[in-house]
Structure 1
Amino acid sequence: MTHFFADLRYAARQLMRQPGFTLVALLTLALGIGANTAMFSVVNGTMLAPLPYPDAGRLVRVWETTPEGHRFSVSEPNFLDFHDRSEQFESLAAMKDVSLTFVDGGQAARIPGLAVSREFFSVLGHSPIAGREFTSEEDQPGSAADVVVLGHDLWQRRFGGDRDLVGRTIRVEGRARTVVGVMGPDFGLLDSEYWVPLAADPASDRGDHWLAMIGRLRPRATLQQAEAELQRIAEGIGLQHPTLAGWGVEMMPFSRWLVRDSFRTTAVLLLGAVAFVLLMACVNLANLVFARASRRQGELGLRLALGAGRGRLVRQLLVEAVLLCGLGLGLGIALAYWGVLALQAFGSGFIPRLESVRIDGTVMAFAVGIGLVTVVLFGLLPALRISGLDLNATLRQGGRTGERGDQRRVRDALVVVQIAMAMLLLVGAGLLLRSFWQLQSTDPGFDAGNVVYAEIQLGDDYAEPWQKVVFFRELIADLSSRPGIASAGATVITPFSGSNLMNDVTPVDRAESIGAQGFMQAAWRTATPDAFETLGLPLIEGRLYDYTDRWDGPRVAVITRTMAERMWPDRPAVGQEFYWGSNTGEPLRVIGVVDDLRDVEMSSDVQPVMFLPYHHMPWPKMTLLVRGSGQVDSIARLVQSRVRALDESLPVPAVASLQDQVASVAAGPRFRTFLMASFACLALLLAAVGIYGVMAYNVSQRTREVGLRMALGAAPASISGMLLRRGAVLTILGTLIGLLGAWAITRLIQGVLFATEPLDPAATATAAFVLALTALTACWLPARRAARIHPTEALRHE
């Protein structure tokens, strides 16, 4: 330990003597370790940390699948059949979103929750911290009890954490509900703040797929066994009910459902990018250590001559590396802490399980681990290499420094590696940037400019269909008559909210040949007649429906271009009839065709969509759309005041810009592209510093040669060209290796690209050009400086 502390003091003095080297090394280490630690904290919190449910490995998410293979929600009768017939599950539960108005505990507010079957809590392995769960009697169809289980946050926020609340009644949606339980602070799913009984009805329509289904496997059951069992049950349902023939089942573990594959790919991609940045930082530091140690050959040779063993030299150089890395590790962890805070501030909405992302013991252990790896990469290996210097040759030089050929080749190889890795990151960033640009330039099919939206849900006071129709018709007419309001309308789906409504559609003239399972699936929207003008959906042929299309008259629909082309590719769609939901009953007549729109996912293919008159199919929850010329705040106040004027018992709706909602679709890709571009710029900077260092050191070693050539008449341009050739060869070689690596690796990120192919020519060419320009500039600066040295000064140089 005495020798160690002596080496440590000597190392500290050496680092303080060279503040430039120390500062560059510390910043390089801090950036590399900090970025890696921050990204690992995201991977650890979202993908590696256990889910907050006991035995979470046995939890699965279950979907029904359409005959085309698309995932779909589960109908109530099908859920009950799966629940009663399956044997591979310890328990199965279903849930659906609800949004109820809470009056107790403060001002009336609409709060999101879930209607769940009674086994919901046992599936997730949690019990209330106060009270109880639902009983089977409270979850019976037709007689669902007016009970509620509150989430911990809602209990604290609106009811002050009153433990005597259990057993008492509160006002929810205009009626009394008994609070039977309160869940703990660590329980939650899908941002729900309370739970009410689902009361699934076996007599309801099997075509109404509304439910999300989750299950807990038996201890010895496998995912494949359980999926095969539910598939057999689905096939049996299809035999009993021909409209469901061809429907199947798909399952996945909870961990994969909560953290989607696209995010996993993104997280692994970014973690790989920061690992490259760290490796480049180590390569840069190794080059700096090589150059620094080469200048210290006289000192090292003298120490060898005085009896120091090679192990002693290695230890000394390694202690310097450990000290430097320890300081860099401390700075890196501080940067990682601030990086995690930034991710939590800006990553909400597209980083799942964000609350689990933190700098904990696991992350600290990871940081220390990469610190040790860093010591080996930039400290131990160069120390071992340099300690093998030839004592006789060093002493014969009389203290003059030089670089052996093998050392030069190692430094050149390190620069090539840096350039290759920078090329990989630049190509990846270029692909993501092009993908983001493609996403940004994709037309949703409607005009979101100057449009605000507000979600309005009518309660039990609007039980009759005509009451819903009258409310929205009066509200829309009132708003449309106001100054500064161009138009207003309502539709059942908030664009890009993640919600979608789909059903089977079949042309009437092909119903007999198609069969009961239907011709295809199409999205459907119930909308007021004014919604088309408000959204700016252009009419292609036919007409739009209006209030003259009486609710008791013929059933009509307006469809999109894609739906028309798929249903009737060889003839006009207007005037055609099709069945909706089944191949029997009264068909719908197409009266108009509008242009395509995207309102679910911007990055997916255009889906067929049909619009139904709202006065034919009233819906309790609608999205109000208002197009105006004023500011969002002024239109929001107008909308809220008019809603209160019509019904003061309704909660004040939140009003937001539809243009902002459309822009939010690109928030995740924008964040991912920004991070990748940042890492690529850092890699480019490290590569430039690396090649600049090599060229500057090469110039310093060849200064006497340069002076001799210039004394013999060599022109400055020829001197610059001679020195540039080495950098150009390294740049070309590194770029080619990087392109080969990009060809192999970029295919792994294909899943997160939109309308962009791996190794897109424009992105690849741009990356190569930027890298070559940066690298050659880094080569040119030392060469230019060498060409300006006076021959006399060069010949005297040591």
Structure 2
Amino acid sequence: MNFLQDLRFAIRSLRARAGTAGFAVLTLTAGMASAIAIFCVIDAVLLRALPYPQADRLVQIRELADNGHSMALAMPNYADLAASVDAFDAIAFHNAYPDTIRSGDTTIRATVGTSGGDFFRALGQAPQLGRVFAANEHEPVAVIGYGLWQNLLQGRADVLGQPLDIGSKRYTIIGVMPASFAFPERTVAWLPMLEPDGNSRTSHNWEALGRLRANADLDQTRLAANALATRLKARFGKDIDAVAFGLTPLGDAIAAPVRSALLLLAAGTAFLLLIAITNTTNLLLALNGSRTRELAVRAALGASAARLARQVLLESLLITAIATTLALGVAYAAVHLLVRLAGDSLPRADEVQLSVGIVALSVSAALAIALVATAAVLWSNRKQNPIGELRESGRGQSPSRSHLRTRALLLAGQTALTTVLLIGAGLLGRSFLALLDVDPGFDAEGAVSVQVSQPWTRDTAAAAATTRRYDELMSTFAQLPGVGAVGGVSSLPLTGGADGAFWDGSVTSLGQSPPPPIGYAQFRVASADYFRAVGIPLLRGRSFDSSDRADGAPVAVISADAARAAWGERDPIGQRIQVGNMDGDMRAVTIVGVVGDVRERSLDRAPMGAVYVDLDQRPVVAAEFNIVVRSTLPIATLMPTLRGTLERLATGIPYSLRPLADVRAAALADRRFSLILLGAFASVAFVLAIGGLYGLMAFAVGQRQHEFALRQALGSSRSRIARLVLGGGLRIGAGGVALGLVAAWFGARAARSQLYGVPASDPWTLIGVSALLLVTLLLACLLPARRACAVAPRDALS
């Protein structure tokens, strides 16, 4: 009965102070919603085990160069590893690439995987229908994903044995995987390797994974793999560029690209949640501080300390219950927004969800928050004497100095956390601006990328026919009004080979005997006018031109970085190199030009050496080809013209258009995502800190009206009273800012991997954030200070 009475009283109490209670609810909702949403992402990407049996035994395998550079595996090295290291229960190689898939009259573009070894057994996956291909299968068979079966093939019951055209070949469907399986991500069909990949040990074309035996130790397996790498290096010398094998738990490897960013966001979310809890506790202190006389009366009339504590707890529980309900709804929507904002850069995005376990954890956290807030209120009331409180409040003096001290300490902590968040957002913002100033090596303005798709093939005749179609398209584009240059390449800068061309490897010089490798490089197939179209400067020699015929002497253009690595300051023009380990064409090529370096993978990674070969001499075999059209026309005018041309001339060829500037923008997507979220957290924290200080000072002024009236009666000027109020607020703010600067100094070093071009202790960011906070906090105290000065001694003392 007493509980129900206390509950009704708590509801009436909060309703009577709806403004303060509502602000507490909104504060806690913002903090909890962001924490829940980010935790959903972290749980799926970093914490949850991969959806495979005994996933902790799965490891990613890569080669390591002597400078620590991580590379995909060359096939002979994979074969030696599979034969020599017996710690693996199963080992497999794979890669994934976009390709065309046709069934009847329907053609789609999707991710296809080629794999070998014990691919499906390593992942512990069995088909839902039919079978998977064997480790040594060399027939044109295909295992398809559940989604492809249901959508393209309409879920046909007789799907097994049906033909399916993938790329330039026809495959027979032998199995269907369950709906939960798609590895690598977004792969919809898996094919066996039908053609040998060659015997080059510097052609890094394959990812690899292994399942450790039940009793195998990862560290011991690394030692065995690296011992093999040492033996291979001793045996093959310069014909192999790997000096070790890198073995990483598969879950860690998948999460690695986003781990630092997610941990940074997790820290930001934790700070925001702490700020929300602090602010809620402060508001509860304000609610109870304004009721000092009421609580004193209840205590004097016989209410026990436990009864009063229960009253405070019920008010805290009501606020946190409402906030948690709202936060779960907001978080549900925020999770979907986060997944969309992250785009393809977020691994395991399809596993991100607001699960029952996270809801239960959120409710538990809400209960803990209510208990912490209640404890803080009770602690501030621990020394209060009901009779003394009634006597003091009867004289109009402040009955709750302990409340003020506790609230001041909480506000200083809140300001410190806000300082850390603002500094983090400031450093990310300056890093983002620094990246915007990075020269990617090409001119993205005034150009459009036309990505066209053709079946992946290694057949020379088919590749030559595809190349002729590309040449025809480029010739037509070049004749359009306003077009200044048109050229094509197998992979655009800043995509890291993500658009279909995944070749890279060691370039070998033919000027010595035996021919030594001259460095690791990206491999690109480019057309005659590509460099002018994309805006890569020609530094020496010439580009490809009409004299470079298919039956002529093979030529190449290399980047400045590749030239420096091989020949230093000497002129590389006329040097002959071998790049056949990358595309299978073993003809030597002669260097005819040197072009500027471009950033192939990202803006924050240094340019890599690159070798470009002529499209007509070495027809592209990648599934994607990128035509760049540079024009003096506005992009909005050029794109419809290009689309119309493609509809007329490229019937049946899948294509996509985007401004070349979007390629650069996409390279900043990950950092933009982190900056937007951390900036949002910092903005909310900033508003809460300002509102908290204003509320505290307004409350303090209201409680100290009698004191201020006495001071004026005894001769204090209004300016002195204003300085007293402003000084009190500024001391709280300055203490919080100073504490925040110390915390940020340590925290920024932990987040150094997310910074570019800005030191972790950037003085301009630290000074700017400190000045912004202190000035704004001082402004928040102005109105309470004016109210303190406006107190009339006669009215306050009457």
Which TM class, normalised by the smaller chain length?
Answer: over 0.9
Question: Aligned residue for 2:693?
Answer: 691
Question: Aligned residue for 1:267?
Answer: 262
Question: Aligned residue for 1:83?
Answer: 82
Q: Distance in 1 between matches of 2:119 and 2:615?
A: 34
Please give the per-residue CA displacement for 1:646-692, whole angstroms capped at 9, x wherever unaligned.
Answer: xx5x5332233322122111112111101101111111111112211
CA contact (8 A) 1:318 1:383 kept: no
Return the TM-score normalized by structure 2.
0.92
- After superposition, the Cα gap between the structure-2 partners of 1:643 and 1:757, relative to the gap in structure 1 and judged at 3 Å, is farther
Tell me which moved more, 483-492 or 569-578: 569-578
Q: Does 1:749 align with 2:751?
A: yes
Question: Aligned residue for 1:345?
Answer: 340
**Structure 2: which amino acid aligns with 1:238?**
K
Please give the per-residue CA displacement for 1:17-46, whole angstroms capped at 9, x wherever unaligned.
Answer: 111122111111211221211111111122
CA displacement at 1:429 relative to structure 2: 0.6
**Structure 1: which amino acid aligns with 2:199?**
S
**Structure 1: which amino acid aligns with 2:473?**
L
**Structure 2: which amino acid aligns with 1:344?**
V
Question: Aligned residue for 1:637?
Answer: 643
Question: Aligned residue for 1:433?
Answer: 429
Question: Aligned residue for 2:601?
Answer: 600
Task: Tell me the secondary structure at the aligned position of residue 167 of structure 1.
Answer: coil
**Structure 1: which amino acid aligns with 2:598?**
L
CA displacement at 1:724 relative to structure 2: 0.8
Question: Aligned residue for 1:109?
Answer: 108
Q: Distance in 2 between matches of 1:504 and 1:202?
A: 16
**Structure 1: which amino acid aligns with 2:640?**
S
- After superposition, the Cα gap between the structure-2 partners of 1:100 and 1:300, relative to the gap in structure 1 and judged at 3 Å, is closer
- After superposition, the Cα gap between the structure-2 partners of 1:110 and 1:305, relative to the gap in structure 1 and judged at 3 Å, is closer
Question: Aligned residue for 2:172?
Answer: 178
CA displacement at 1:208 relative to structure 2: 2.4
CA contact (8 A) 2:100 2:454 kept: no
Question: Aligned residue for 2:450?
Answer: 453
CA displacement at 1:159 relative to structure 2: 0.7
CA contact (8 A) 1:77 1:201 kept: no
Question: Aligned residue for 2:729?
Answer: 727
Question: Aligned residue for 1:155?
Answer: 149
Q: Distance in 1 between matches of 2:609 and 2:94?
A: 27
**Structure 2: which amino acid aligns with 1:103?**
R
CA contact (8 A) 1:578 1:587 kept: yes
Question: Aligned residue for 1:323?
Answer: 318
Question: Aligned residue for 1:378?
Answer: 373
CA contact (8 A) 1:95 1:198 kept: no
CA displacement at 1:285 relative to structure 2: 2.4
Q: Distance in 1 between matches of 2:99 and 2:607?
A: 33
Q: Distance in 1 between matches of 2:321 and 2:46?
A: 29
CA displacement at 1:253 relative to structure 2: 0.8
- After superposition, the Cα gap between the structure-2 partners of 1:51 and 1:565, relative to the gap in structure 1 and judged at 3 Å, is same
Q: Distance in 2 between matches of 1:20 and 1:601?
A: 49
CA contact (8 A) 2:440 2:603 kept: yes
CA contact (8 A) 2:65 2:241 kept: no
Following superposition of structure 1 onto structure 2, how do residues 238-387 of structure 1 map, counting pairs within 5 Å? Answer: 238-242=233-237, 243-244=239-240, 246-260=242-256, 262-387=257-382
CA displacement at 1:430 relative to structure 2: 0.4
- After superposition, the Cα gap between the structure-2 partners of 1:60 and 1:446, relative to the gap in structure 1 and judged at 3 Å, is same
Please give the per-residue CA displacement for 1:609-663, whole angstroms capped at 9, x wherever unaligned.
Answer: 232222232222232222243535414424523653xxx5x53322333221221
Please give the per-residue CA displacement for 1:692-746, whole angstroms capped at 9, x wherever unaligned.
Answer: 1221122122222323333455443222112111111122221111111111111
- After superposition, the Cα gap between the structure-2 partners of 1:371 and 1:516, relative to the gap in structure 1 and judged at 3 Å, is farther
Unpaired segments ≥5 residues, structure 2: none
Task: Tell me the secondary structure at the aligned position of residue 103 of structure 1.
Answer: strand
Question: Aligned residue for 1:611?
Answer: 612
Question: Aligned residue for 2:31?
Answer: 32
Tell me which moved more, 367-376 or 105-114: 105-114
Q: Distance in 2 between matches of 1:635 and 1:193?
A: 33
Question: Aligned residue for 2:494?
Answer: 496
CA displacement at 1:508 relative to structure 2: 5.8
CA contact (8 A) 1:149 1:179 kept: yes
Please give the per-residue CA displacement for 1:286-321, whole angstroms capped at 9, x wherever unaligned.
Answer: 222223323322222222222222122111211221
Following superposition of structure 1 onto structure 2, how do residues 582-597 of structure 1 map, counting pairs within 5 Å? Answer: 588-597=589-598
Following superposition of structure 1 onto structure 2, how do residues 532-547 of structure 1 map, counting pairs within 5 Å? Answer: 532-547=531-546
- After superposition, the Cα gap between the structure-2 partners of 1:505 and 1:166, relative to the gap in structure 1 and judged at 3 Å, is closer
Q: Distance in 1 between matches of 2:473 and 2:392?
A: 94
Tell me which moved more, 743-752 or 570-579: 570-579
CA contact (8 A) 2:452 2:654 kept: no
**Structure 1: which amino acid aligns with 2:670?**
G
- After superposition, the Cα gap between the structure-2 partners of 1:610 and 1:177, relative to the gap in structure 1 and judged at 3 Å, is closer
Please give the per-residue CA displacement for 1:323-348, whole angstroms capped at 9, x wherever unaligned.
Answer: 22111211121221121122233222
Return the TM-score normalized by structure 1.
0.92
CA contact (8 A) 1:100 1:173 kept: yes
Task: Tell me the secondary structure at the aligned position of residue 531 of structure 2.
Answer: helix
Q: 1:759 aligns with which of 753, 758, 761?
A: 761
- After superposition, the Cα gap between the structure-2 partners of 1:731 and 1:651, relative to the gap in structure 1 and judged at 3 Å, is same
Question: Aligned residue for 1:130?
Answer: 129
Q: Distance in 1 between matches of 2:543 and 2:672?
A: 37
Task: Tell me the secondary structure at the aligned position of residue 529 of structure 1.
Answer: coil
Task: Tell me the secondary structure at the aligned position of residue 630 of structure 2.
Answer: strand
Question: Aligned residue for 1:208?
Answer: 203
Q: Distance in 2 between matches of 1:338 and 1:203?
A: 50
Q: Distance in 2 between matches of 1:266 and 1:429?
A: 13
CA displacement at 1:763 relative to structure 2: 1.7
CA contact (8 A) 2:203 2:506 kept: no
RMSD: 2.5
Q: Distance in 1 between matches of 2:473 and 2:645?
A: 9
Tell me which moved more, 549-558 or 596-605: 549-558
CA contact (8 A) 2:449 2:626 kept: no
Q: Distance in 1 between matches of 2:727 and 2:306?
A: 38
Q: 2:469 aligns with which of 471, 487, 501?
A: 471
- After superposition, the Cα gap between the structure-2 partners of 1:257 and 1:517, relative to the gap in structure 1 and judged at 3 Å, is farther
Question: Aligned residue for 2:629?
Answer: 626
Q: Distance in 1 between matches of 2:170 and 2:329?
A: 52
- After superposition, the Cα gap between the structure-2 partners of 1:360 and 1:49, relative to the gap in structure 1 and judged at 3 Å, is same
Question: Aligned residue for 1:413?
Answer: 409
Tell me which moved more, 411-420 or 339-348: 339-348
CA contact (8 A) 2:292 2:400 kept: no
- After superposition, the Cα gap between the structure-2 partners of 1:611 and 1:220, relative to the gap in structure 1 and judged at 3 Å, is same
**Structure 1: which amino acid aligns with 2:611?**
M
- After superposition, the Cα gap between the structure-2 partners of 1:465 and 1:133, relative to the gap in structure 1 and judged at 3 Å, is closer
CA contact (8 A) 1:456 1:624 kept: no
